Amino acid sequence: MKTTTVNAGTKPRARKRKADAPGVEIRPMRLEDLPEVYALGQRLFTAEKLPTLYRSWDEDEVMKLFSAEQETCLVAIAQGRVVGFALGSLMQKRGSAWRYGWLEWLGVDPAWSRRGVASRLVRQLTSLFIERDARIMLVDTDEANEAALAFFRKLGFGQELRHIYLSQNLDSHPEAIERRERERDAADEEE
């Protein structure tokens, strides 16, 4: 699995469009938004379309990120419902002057797509990162996720780096086979 990491480039930020989703409020995420954010992510990050994101999206992941990085978690609200989210975190290596803002999760309800909701979420998150001294903003996505790549490039992200995920099926590992055999033997002895 390849993912593409896209660093903030030198292009100016996209200008706000006139048609930017009227009636959509961007605000800090609250604890009570968690179930809706999680449910929206589950609809977006499916095993078929976005397998890498699907594997790591779960309630604990959202809860952990929200608890640790509440200040950089935003939601988009329309008609009282969560229609989008941008969950970010700040990273700094010990001894390094560079502070990074990482957009970890971004999603918009398909019913609200192409109305500038994600652009508004990312612009506000960018401002939050800048206020907190981040000097580089990172985003990443699967290289097959053309919509997200088009979106990030439109917003001025560039300097793309590839990162490859490799995997191995552990079911056929000798230790796993041995373990199953031991369990089977133990079950047989119990009978």
Ligand X SMILES: CC(C)(COP(=O)(O)OP(=O)(O)OC[C@H]1O[C@@H](n2cnc3c(N)ncnc32)[C@H](O)[C@@H]1OP(=O)(O)O)[C@@H](O)C(=O)NCCC(=O)NCCS
Q: Which is nearer to ligand X, 38 or 151 (CB)?
A: 151
Binding residue count for ligand X, defined by CB under 6 A = 20
CA distance 113 to 146: 14
Best CA proximity match to 59, nearest among 37, 33, 38: 38
Single residue of 154, 179, 180, 184 touching ligand X by CB under 6 A: 154
Least distance to ligand X, CB of residue 65, Å: 12
Angstrom CA distances, 133 to 71, 115, 127, 128, stand at 13, 30, 10, 9
Single residue of 3, 4, 126, 145 touching ligand X by CB under 6 A: 145
Main-chain dihedrals φ then ψ at residue 28, nearest 5 degrees = -60, 145
81-92 and 99-108 strand pairing: antiparallel
Least distance to ligand X, CB of residue 41, Å: 8
Q: Does 11 bind ligand X (CB under 6 A)?
A: no
Which residues would be at the binding site for ligand X (CB under 6 A)? Answer: 44, 53, 105-108, 113-119, 141, 145, 147-148, 150-151, 154
